Structure 1
Amino acid sequence: MKKIFKSVLVLALLAVTLVSCERVAPNYYGVLMQNYGKAGKSDYSKVQGKVSTALSPGSELFQVPAWEQRAKFTDDNNETEKVLHMKASDNTEFTARPQYSYKSIEGKVVDLVFQNSRLGSGNDFMRSLEDNVLEPRIYDIIKEESRKYTTDTLMAKGGSLRFEQRVQAIVKSEFEKSGLELVSFSSNLDFSKKVKAKIDSRNEVNTNITVLDQKILEQRKTNELELLITEQAVIRSRGLTPEILQERAIQKWNGVLPSTYAGGGSLPFVKTVK
């Protein structure tokens, strides 16, 4: 009877062990938490294959996707895209619809789970991570950086790009602290029709002013050129003395005397000086 009881007990324990075994799925990183994580990070370890959690009280298996995750801000039902409302430094409101992608860093997956184990270990772990950790931080970063830019700067050529690059660099750094690699990021900034019309009108005025400035500069240069030509003509006219004119006439004479000429034996046009 005792042998039968022992055999049944062994089989029962074996059945419980088999039922309680979990397997780390392909393309996932497995992290096992033991002893409810009371000892801190030392209770967390990276695992693979079959993992038993029943025989160790307080054990829980976290499975983190190893492939790239794509996300965007959505409502609680994960159906409607969420629009973030921001303000530039000149108090003009604009909107942002951030989209981003990331993947877990294998060497930091234990840190990732340890820092966020409170979010649960089920299939919604990554979704909870996005909703409660990643996206609130992204929102704070965009909000903080937007106060450093004017509306004109954000809408000017290259201004939005500089803003995007700055925000992306900060988000990348924050993700790395959490054990994640930021793959792509876009804020997708947008302004109201009223603000766009105002900026377009201002840009048109600035363009017209630039054209007028170019015309004024061109006319000023033309006037300066004409003045230089006039001054050069005056200088030349002052330098044409009778002696110079006589010398030029001699240089151009071909040596043939006309049948009638003035001067009584002198060269044409040459005045005898006593």
Structure 2
Amino acid sequence: MPEVIALIAAAGKGTRLGAEVPKAFVMLRGRSLVERSILAMVTSGVVDRIIVLLSADMMSFAQDLFSRRGLIDSRGYCQGIPVHLVCGGGERADSVWEGLKAIGSHKKGSVVLIHDAARALTPPGLIARVARAVAQGHKAVIPVLPVTDTIKEVGEESGTAFVRSTPDRSRLRAVQTPQGFDLAELYAANLAYFAQETPDFIATDDASLMEWHGQRVSCVKGDPMAFKVTTPIDMTLAEHIVDEAEPTIFDVPDTLKKDADD
């Protein structure tokens, strides 16, 4: 298995959740969303190092929180996997680019995983599945789920919305994270993207950027547990899931259980 580096995007404000702190730092049954995402990466058994992308105004808070939790010191909670904090940019794509530049030198064939901190209950097995698909030679890999709702393409005319078309949902998929890439290829795609003086394309995710750069994007099976906590309803669902499954999600060391309950 080549080197695997995880970039966790945690710089967003998450206004739709209506919390007093940025979404990544909202507590879910005693542990923040970003902490849970970090621990999922650790538990996957395939990640060698982790970079958390943060807004500048949350850097000091995160350093303090992670230190108390044993995420960036020698207490072993991350099983020796280094966790680094990097200041992101104004948009998600800017943050990922900062993360890629922070990685520095890397071995040929290294794998990078881009993950949303808000997908805090992503199963470690899904993370491993994506990483292994990239290691097997796929330059870009995304986890997907079938779309169950009927989807409409809509337009607007004179202030009234109307249906333009109804895509065949059998060909549609909902995309999750982590998205996995050959590190050198993703770096090259970002380099070309940010070199544009007049952008002719806005990347909505890293896979779309790879498509724009001419790379084929492969798909692996996603998981319903990798849903994104975006709204209060999502948080309620996440709380119910954790209430049922917390003892089996993460093995929390006894020395940290008090911190987890603070």
TM-score using structure 1 length: 0.19
The alignment's TM-score, normalised by the length of structure 2, stands at 0.19
Q: Which has the higher helix share?
A: 1
Q: Which has the higher contact order (CA 8 A, sep 6+)?
A: 2
Of structures 1 and 2, the larger Rg is shown by 1
